[in-house]
């Protein structure tokens, strides 16, 4: 009995392998739990009740109001500049009510009143020129041409997005890598146990022959 127990004792390398496997299993489970609670559930909530539609520009205008942005000019150099507010009003194929267009969900949360936030430059004039260029783009290049936009009738019925931050690829990766980590951990543990079991059987057969 004592010999059998001794035979099944893991070597230092096998013990490290088992620990690594259990560590990967725990990391995979915790990653799934953390992403599900902190990121994936809000992302799915944003997508719930939403969809895509065809949008057509109704009006492009600059408001008199200016908003502050923070620029960086080095490791210890930061400052505040201002930019004009550009609004792009569109009509969607899902509703006749005009909606305000935004670049994505992040821009919508940062400034829900405007359609575009330029890269913040130190010079206010440069920020104004960037906004004016974007205004000409929507007026002259897009014009009345329809384009795909995204909406969420439950959360933001009066706003549409040009692109989604939380698309299917990002959601897939949220599931894929924690699951891969978990499965690799399980595989390491199973292979270590199987290798040890085969080694013990081989040793027992060898002793019987001698």
DSSP letter, residue 115: S
Give the contacts of 82 (CB within 8 A, at least 6 positions apart): 66, 67, 68, 69, 124, 127
Give the contacts of 175 (CB within 8 A, at least 6 positions apart): 32
| pLDDT one-digit tens code per residue, 31-88 | 877 766 655 555 555 554 567 888 999 999 998 889 999 888 766 778 899 999 999 9
| 116 bridge partner residues | 86
| pLDDT one-digit tens code per residue, 58-73 | 999 998 889 999 888 7
| 199 bridge partner residues | none
3-class state of residue 143 by DSSP: coil
Q: For residue 36, how far is the Cα from the chain centroid?
A: 12
Closest by CA to 191, choosing from 9, 20, 5, is: 20
CA distance linking residue 83 with residue 116, whole number of Å: 10
CA distance linking residue 37 with residue 198, whole number of Å: 42
| pLDDT one-digit tens code per residue, 105-143 | 888 888 999 999 999 988 999 999 999 999 999 998 888
Answer positive or negative: Cα dihedral of 64, 133, 119, 106.
positive
| pLDDT one-digit tens code per residue, 131-182 | 999 999 999 888 888 998 887 766 677 888 888 765 556 666 677 788 888 9
> HSE-up of 29 (CA within 13 Å, CB side)?
8
Strands 156-161 and 95-102 come out as parallel
């Amino acid at each position: 009995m004592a010999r059998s127990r001794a035979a099944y004792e893991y070597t230092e390398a096998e013990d490290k392998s088992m620990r690594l496997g259990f560590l990967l299993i725990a990391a995979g489970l915790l990653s799934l739990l953390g992403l599900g609670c902190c990121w994936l559930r809000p992302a799915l909530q944003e997508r719930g009740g939403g969809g895509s539609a065809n949008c057509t520009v109704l009006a492009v205008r600059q408001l008199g109001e200016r908003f502050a942005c923070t620029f960086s000019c080095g490791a210890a150099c930061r400052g505040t500049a201002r930019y004009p507010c550009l609004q792009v009003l569109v009509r969607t194929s899902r509703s006749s009510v005009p909606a305000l267009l935004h670049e994505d969900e992040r821009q919508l949360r940062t400034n829900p009143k405007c359609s575009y936030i330029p890269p913040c430059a130190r010079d206010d004039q440069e920020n104004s020129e960037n906004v004016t260029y974007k205004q000409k783009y929507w007026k002259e290049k897009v014009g009345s041409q329809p384009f795909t936009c995204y909406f969420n009738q439950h959360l933001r019925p009066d706003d549409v997005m040009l692109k989604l931050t939380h698309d299917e690829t990002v959601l897939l990766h949220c599931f894929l890598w924690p699951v891969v980590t978990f499965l690799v951990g399980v595989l390491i543990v199973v292979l270590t146990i199987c290798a040890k079991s085969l080694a013990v059987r081989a040793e027992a057969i060898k002793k019987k022959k001698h």
